[in-house]
Amino acid sequence: MNLERLTAMANDIANFFHAESDRQLAIEGVSGHMKKFWEPRMRKQLVAYAQSGQAHELSDLARAGVMRLAELDAPKG
């Protein structure tokens, strides 16, 4: 999927959860939404993009949510 579109969608999700006063709950909301509603390859693509350090257009909350998503999707072992 197009990285610009994934980034825009991640920022939209983060904007929704921005109203949450507890930052940790907001981060969990962002990552939980992506985990529940995004396909694995969309998540993997956005996580790789965020981890590359190139995703400057991700908001702080979106980036934190994506990094939390990386932890959730990481292989257990």
What is the tens place of the pLDDT at every residue in 1-59?
A: 899 999 999 999 999 999 999 999 999 999 999 999 999 999 999 999 999 989 999 99
Contacts (Cβ under 8 Å, ≥6 apart) of 64: 23, 27, 30
pTM of the model: 0.92
Per-residue tokens: 75: 């292989």
Which amino acid, 15? N
Contact by Cβ (8 Å): 27, 70: no
Report d(CA 47, CA 55) in Å as an integer: 10
Contact by Cβ (8 Å): 11, 49: no
